[in-house]
């Protein structure tokens, strides 16, 4: 009742509590009688708020627990998360939240993309004289990538000729070939798919974050280190960083479009997971066909219902017919091997 965490300790001193005939070891139960507080009458003029406090209901068969009252007045089991939700500053939820922040993001690039979208980078249009010193004429500063106009957020992402070329070379790797080199248009395109976990959604967001990050990095390298990189070099860094992230994933339930996109990134087959009861291996395949499992060369060993996985995993659509010529379809069900020659299916 009188612990250091109790707000009553801010009102009452230990001496006043003892003089009123109460004990410092009293609990809430000890100061309640017949569903009323047992406050001393002399406390009424001095502490009137004590007499207006609601009297809690005492549950004799339940142990005391620490609870937290949230912003809606509900009592919940205390946790740091509950306290943080009640104390933190709130702002309006934005639609683009899932573009920089998702479970597969690269943290430093996600933080940078968040700053880019909020236009919080220290671009030249946001500089003040106190930032650069009295000897620098702000009117003469120009973009370090194209050296034509002062850099701004819209200019760097991606109106600048340099950053525009970078964007044109990387956007096709994520299925954004038709998206104009404007950050607003890119964000508008990504918002509807940003909550998904498809291959296109993940790669598109990784590409955008890596591109903005490395363009800003190139800009700062030219500013502080006086070193320049060509467009192809920046593109290579972007692609390498994204691919290194992609090879840490395990992809499953792939569509043909997703499989094609992963092929363009040269993702190894070890990153692809097959799910399902049936597995099919197609031998003597001259071109990829739609099937469940892996396409293997005819000399791949088949032992006790197992096979060496080394080629491509493709999706199978039972609603489509696929023409197979001189193919042998091997199906493995419950470790029983059956072979079936198929000419036209």
| Residues 310, 208 share a domain | no
What domain range includes position 27? 7-87
Kindly state whether residues 148 and 232 are assigned to the same domain. Answer: yes
**142 and 78 in a common domain:** no
Spatial distance between the Cα atoms of 74 and 71, rounded to a whole number of angstroms: 7
pLDDT tens across 138-169, in order? 667 889 999 999 889 999 999 999 999 999 99
* 139-147: Cβ within 8 A, 24+ apart: 143/219, 144/219, 144/222, 144/223, 145/215, 145/218, 145/219, 145/222
Note whether 26 and 137 are same-domain residues: no
Query: Is 251 within 8 Å of 258 (Cβ atoms)?
Result: yes
Q: How many domains does the chain have?
A: 3
Considering the domain architecture, whether residues 221 and 325 belong to the same structural domain is answered as: no
Q: Give the global pTM.
A: 0.62
- Indicate if 200 and 286 belong to the same structural domain: no
Q: Tell me how long the chain is.
A: 345
Assess if residue 171 is contained within a domain. yes
Please tell me whether residues 99 and 241 are part of one structural domain. Answer: yes
241 located within any domain: yes
pLDDT per residue rounded down to tens, the chain (345 residues): 677 777 777 788 888 888 888 888 888 888 888 888 888 888 888 888 888 888 888 887 878 777 888 888 888 888 898 889 888 888 888 999 999 999 999 999 999 999 999 999 999 888 776 666 667 676 678 899 999 998 899 999 999 999 999 999 999 998 899 899 999 999 999 999 999 989 999 999 999 999 999 999 999 999 999 999 999 999 999 999 999 999 998 888 788 888 888 888 988 877 777 554 333 333 333 334 333 343 333 333 333 333 333 333 333 333 333 333 333 333 333 333 333 333 333
Last residue in a domain, options 197, 228, 246: 246
State the Cα–Cα distance between residues 33 and 54, nearest whole angstrom: 13
Q: Same domain for 290 and 179?
A: no
CB 26 within 8 A of CB 62: no
Residue 150 and residue 25 share a domain: no
User: Which helix (H) or strand (E) covers residue 306, if one does?
Assistant: strand 306-307
Whether 184 and 282 map to the same domain: the answer is no
* Interaxial angle between packed helices 256-264 and 199-224, expressed in degrees from 0 to 180 and rounded to the nearest 10: 30
């Amino acid at each position: 009742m009188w612990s250091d965490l109790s707000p009553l300790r801010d009102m009452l001193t230990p001496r006043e509590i003892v003089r009123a005939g109460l004990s410092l070891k009293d609990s809430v139960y000890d100061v309640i009688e017949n569903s009323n507080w047992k406050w001393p009458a002399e406390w009424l003029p001095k502490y009137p708020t004590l007499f207006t406090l609601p009297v809690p209901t005492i549950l004799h068969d339940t142990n005391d627990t620490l609870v937290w009252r949230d912003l809606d007045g509900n009592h919940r089991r205390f946790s740091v998360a509950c306290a943080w939700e009640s104390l933190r500053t709130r702002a309006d939820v934005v639609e683009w939240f899932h573009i920089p922040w998702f479970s597969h993001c690269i943290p430093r690039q996600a933080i940078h993309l968040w700053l880019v979208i909020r236009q919080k980078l220290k671009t030249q249009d946001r500089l003040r004289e106190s930032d650069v010193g009295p000897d620098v004429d702000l009117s003469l500063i120009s973009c370090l990538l194209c050296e034509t106009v002062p850099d701004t957020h819209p200019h760097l992402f991606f109106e600048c000729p340099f950053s525009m070329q970078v964007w044109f070379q990387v956007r096709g790797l994520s299925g954004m070939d038709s998206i104009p080199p404007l950050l607003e248009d890119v964000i508008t395109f990504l918002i509807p798919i940003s909550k998904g976990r498809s291959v296109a959604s993940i790669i598109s967001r990784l590409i955008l974050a890596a591109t903005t990050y490395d363009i800003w990095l190139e800009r700062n390298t030219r500013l502080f280190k006086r070193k320049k990189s060509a467009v192809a070099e920046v593109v290579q860094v972007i692609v390498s960083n994204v691919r290194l992230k992609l090879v840490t994933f395990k992809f499953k339930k792939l569509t043909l479009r997703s499989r094609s996109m992963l092929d363009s990134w040269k993702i190894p087959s070890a990153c692809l997971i097959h799910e399902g009861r049936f597995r099919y291996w197609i031998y003597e395949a001259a071109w990829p066909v739609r099937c469940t499992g892996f396409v293997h060369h005819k000399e791949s060993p088949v032992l006790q219902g197992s096979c060496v996985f080394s080629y491509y995993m493709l999706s199978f659509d039972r609603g489509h017919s696929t023409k197979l010529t001189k193919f042998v379809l091997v199906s493995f069900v419950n470790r029983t091997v059956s072979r079936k020659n198929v000419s036209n299916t």
